[in-house]
Amino acid sequence: MKYLVGSALALALVAGAANAAEVSVSGAVNVPTFGSTGPLAIGSTVQNDIALTTNGNASVVGVVRASSTSGSLTQVLELTLTSFTFTAAAAGQYSLTVNIVQDFVIDANAISATGSHQLNGNVDFSGLGQLAQVSASSVHEATNLPNITTGAIASTGAGTQGFNVGQGPTTSVALIGNIYRIAAAYTFSIAFTTPGSVSIDLPDSGVDNATLTIIPLPPAAFAGLGGLAFVGLGATLRRRGLNKA
């Protein structure tokens, strides 16, 4: 059984798309590219649904959700693949890739960023001799985050096995312009030779997070406030001088 991780080349091709929010599914099930136009505004959310699609003995359904929230010192971006299920209903080898691109408008005073991603979900096995794996690669702006994978998950009989993997420490991301782009690729693999079925579920999520640090005011504004402070101090000293006279 061959397991694949979305390549940087594939991500780069997807990232070159014209729309600012795009989702595509390929492999055992194919879903043509769809999404939304325009980058996600600060304080907004957007959702793109992968409608239930079946191709032979494989099916997929899911939700791609993005959000952007901003405080006085940080802006937090989140891109999730959730409420997702990939099912193989007959013996064989199956591979499915979900590519996602999302653009976010970022605060004009953002000076730095960190990014990370993780996988949380489970595999539902129907019996022995079944394998599954989930891998994820992600690019934030022009920075590659570490690839993550569940590794091969082998059934121990009928039942559910959970997984929770992440990249560990966050990755520093160099900001480029006033738009922050996340391009993520998820690869799902299933293989078994006996009758039955296997489902990979992300009810919790595959998640990309980015945290941007924001300076409260641009340097020019600080200089202006400093000047006002000196003017105020000067006026106070002058008043004191007049009172003594």
CA distance 123 to 190: 10
Relative to beta strand 143-144, strand 130-140 is antiparallel
CA 80 to chain centre: 5
How high does pLDDT run on average in the chain? 86
Domain that holds residue 182: 8-214
- H-helix segments, the chain: 8-15, 219-244
Examine the domain organization and report whether 15 and 54 are in the same domain.
Answer: yes
The dihedral of CA 108, 110, 113, 115: what is its sign? negative
Examine the domain organization and report whether 123 and 241 are in the same domain.
Answer: no
Examine the domain organization and report whether 236 and 131 are in the same domain.
Answer: no
Q: Number of folded domains in the chain? A: 2
| pLDDT in the model for residue 79 | 98
Examine the domain organization and report whether 128 and 241 are in the same domain.
Answer: no
2: in domain: no
> pLDDT below 70 — which residues of the chain?
1-19, 217-245
pLDDT per residue over 17-76, tens digit each?
Answer: 556 899 999 999 999 999 988 899 999 999 999 999 999 999 999 999 999 999 989 999
| pLDDT in the model for residue 37 | 85
Examine the domain organization and report whether 141 and 29 are in the same domain.
Answer: yes
Examine the domain organization and report whether 222 and 204 are in the same domain.
Answer: no
Provide the whole-model pTM. Answer: 0.83
pLDDT per residue over 146-158, tens digit each?
Answer: 999 999 999 999 9
3: in domain: no
| pLDDT in the model for residue 11 | 43
Instruction: For residue 33, count CB atoms less than 10 angstroms from its CB and return exposed for 0-12, middle for 13-18, buried for 19 or more.
Output: middle
Examine the domain organization and report whether 39 and 61 are in the same domain.
Answer: yes
Examine the domain organization and report whether 200 and 240 are in the same domain.
Answer: no
| pLDDT in the model for residue 19 | 62
42-63-117 Cα angle (round to 5): 65
Examine the domain organization and report whether 229 and 201 are in the same domain.
Answer: no
Asked if 122 and 155 touch (Cβ cutoff 8 Å), the reply is no
CA distance 24 to 208: 17
Examine the domain organization and report whether 37 and 68 are in the same domain.
Answer: yes
Examine the domain organization and report whether 150 and 223 are in the same domain.
Answer: no
| pLDDT in the model for residue 217 | 67
